[in-house]
Amino acid sequence: MTYAKPAPQDSGETGPGTQSVNAEGQVELAPGAYPADSPYANEDLRPVPLADRHWTTYNFAALWIGMAHCIPSWTLASGLIALGMDWKQAVFTIALANVLVLFPMLLTGHAGPKYGIPFPILARASFGIRGANLPALLRAAVACGWFGIQTWIGGQGIFVLLDKLFDGSFAKTSVIGGQPWALWLCFLLFWVLQLAIIYRGMETLRRFENWAAPFVLVGAAVLLIWIADKAGGFGPLLDQPSTLGWGAEFWPVFFPALMGMIGFWSTLSLNIPDFTRFGRGQRAQVWGQTLGLPTTMTLFALMSVLVTSGSQAVYGEPIWEPVPLAAKADNAFGLVFALITVLVATISVNLAANVVSPAYDLSNLAPRLISFRTGALITGVVGVLIFPWELISTPEFYIFVWLGVVGGLLGTVAGILITDYWLLRRTHLALVELYVKEGRYWYRGGWNWRAVTAFVVGAVLAVGGSHSAPGKGPFPEDGLIPFLKPLSDYGWAVGLASAALLYLLLSTGSRDRAAGRGIA
């Protein structure tokens, strides 16, 4: 293996002979500097050449619009209505959550257009070249869970709508494993369709997101107009009262719900460099994400809560899932339109949010054996084996257990990454050394014990007090670790803050600071 090694006292960004910086501050490796024969490198993990970083503001905004307009994000807002909030409380909770999660999204996304690297390679700077597998596999496991949830929802949506379209014949098929075989068939076909698209690569995904985003928005608007017509206008949609009020009953629901809403996109706050690495510059990713995420999620949340409130006014109970609600349409055109919308919406978010990341993460585990495409196939298989239908069985389990625990763990990783990249390294990285054993990011045996220690402590503080109401979830009523129970409702914030602070304390003033910003 041959590469030019930076001088030991350099900033980490402009090692002689290894990398160059353009006028926009974007870094590119010099010809021949990339160690293609390294066991820690492959073509999918290599920095994206400057010539191939061409995603624009619209591409990033369309990516977020396509991801936000999905059934699980719909059920976030409608689930809050089912838990007792009114439309104003639900929209406020979701809007605040998405403004808060945007900040770590932009901070971690900065490394993408600057260095052209995906999330697991960025994680090597803080966790070590081998240690990066810890956050990468955690993120991959969460993504596999989300992929399974989305695929099950999509398959279920196809089944319900086709069953209604063909007068109930699908539901009458024989039962296998507790479900009609036709439902399993819809699930399988939807699974194959998604993997076929992602197998064609990131450019195919970009083109798909560009047209999927406006289509799904139109579909949601049509559903809103339909339920408003059923309810006799928008008045009944806005009149459904909160059963919680704004007093003592509201806040115990609000704070864990807020953390759950943040947890929904805490996954992307880690692996957003997987996408921003293709960005034309920082302006494209900053404006694209700012215009795409909080605005879209708030608008979609407003549509969702209005439709759910309308279902309560029309049918006497809130129908928090859009597929059963759409199945109440009484004409074939409405059902077919709803079916296509469900397909496009679910594919749009599932491929971008839940296949790209684990494909890179699994490739990072064994770069010489697992390519991006192989990682995508592994994700698809694992996503089925986790029984995703159990994760969304109730609003309580979905929001407080699944999203709350996921948010707490991933917030911990985000705190470490942001602290390392922004506070300790000041955004300077020795790019070539992220791929070699001899570099400054090898630490001890490929692991940085400071990052691992901060992660473990932050994770325990964030999710150690996880608890469930009797019969509502898998945790003890008093919490896994009872004295940490008060922290569990703030899991994402606790994980991010505690891990960031501990990692900063462990790293500042260490003997490695003498090496400069490289922090060996």
Q: Which residue has the higher pLDDT, 265 or 415?
A: 415
Band (326; pLDDT cuts 50, 70, 90): confident
Q: What is the mean pLDDT of residues 32-44?
A: 86
Specify the DSSP class assigned to residue 370: -
Least-confidence region, from 28-42, 143-157, 293-307, 388-402 = 388-402
- Name, in order, each residue with C-beta under 8 angstroms of 106's C-beta and a sequence gap of 6 or more: 285, 286, 289, 290
pLDDT of residue 239: 62
Distance, CA of 153 to CA of 192 (rounded, Å):
15
* Helix H or strand E encompassing 325: helix 322-326
DSSP assigned state of 426: T
- Mean pLDDT across 287-299: 88
Q: Which run of H or E residues covers position 28?
A: strand 27-29
Q: Among the listed ranges 187-191, 261-265, 289-293, 372-376, which one has the minimum average pLDDT value?
A: 261-265
Could you tell me the pLDDT band of residue 124, with boundaries at 50, 70 and 90? very high
CA dist., res. 99 & res. 345, Å (int)? 23
pLDDT score at 324: 75
Please tell me which residue, 216 or 163, carries the higher pLDDT value: 163
Q: For the chain, what are the domain ranges?
A: 39-510
pLDDT for residue 130 is more than 90: yes
**Rounded to a whole number, what is the largest CA-CA distance in the chain?**
73
- Bigger pLDDT: 469 vs 174: 174
DSSP code of 484?
G
Is the pLDDT at 520 greater than 80? The verdict is no
- Answer whether residue 425 shows pLDDT above 80: yes
Q: How would residue 67 be classed by pLDDT, with cut points 50, 70 and 90?
A: confident
Sort 22 into a burial class: Cβ within 10 Å, 0-12 / 13-18 / 19+: exposed
- Measure the CA–CA gap between 380 and 347, rounded to whole angstroms: 13
Tell me, which fold does domain 39-510 have in CATH? Hydantoin permease (1.10.4160)
* Tokens found for residue 369: 């054996």
- Of the ranges 94-108, 294-308, 327-341, which is most confident? 94-108
**8 A C-beta contact, residue 292 and residue 63:** yes
Torsion, CA 480, CA 485, CA 487, CA 489, rounded to 10: 90
Task: Specify the range with the lowest mean pLDDT, choosing from 129-133, 402-406, 460-464.
Answer: 402-406
pLDDT band at 416; cut points 50, 70, 90? very high
Q: Is 57 within 8 Å of 291 (Cβ atoms)?
A: yes
Question: Given pLDDT bands bounded at 50, 70 and 90, which one contains residue 273?
Answer: very high
Greater model confidence, 17 or 12: 17
Cα–Cα distance, 330 to 455 (Å, whole number): 52
Query: How many CA within 13 A on the CB side of residue 514?
Result: 3
Beta carbons of 221 and 303 less than 8 angstroms apart: yes
pTM tops 0.85, yes or no: no
**Mean pLDDT in residue range 330-334:** 73
Q: What is the pLDDT of residues 338-359, one digit of tens each?
A: 777 777 877 877 777 787 778 8
Of residues 65 and 76, the one with the higher pLDDT is: 65
Taking a C-beta distance cutoff of 8 angstroms, is the pair 164, 156 a contact? Answer: no
Handedness of CA 202, 204, 209, 210 (dihedral sign): positive
Q: What is the pLDDT of residue 517?
A: 42
Angle between the N-to-C axes of helices 133-165 and 71-82, in degrees from 0 to 180, rounded to the nearest 10: 80
Output the 3-class SS for 110-147. CHHHHHCCCHHHHHHHHHCCCCCHHHHHHHHHHHHHHH
Residue 495 pLDDT class (50, 70, 90 cuts): very high
pLDDT tens by residue, 234-264: 665 566 666 777 877 788 888 878 877 777 7
Whether the pLDDT of residue 316 is over 60: the answer is yes
DSSP string, 353-369: HHTHHHHHHHHHHSTTT
- pLDDT, residue 11, reads 44
What integer is the mean pLDDT of 66-84? 72
Q: Does position 438 have pLDDT exceeding 60, yes or no?
A: yes
Identify the CA nearest to 407 among candidates 395, 415, 417: 415
Q: Output the CA torsion sign for 417, 260, 276, 366.
A: positive
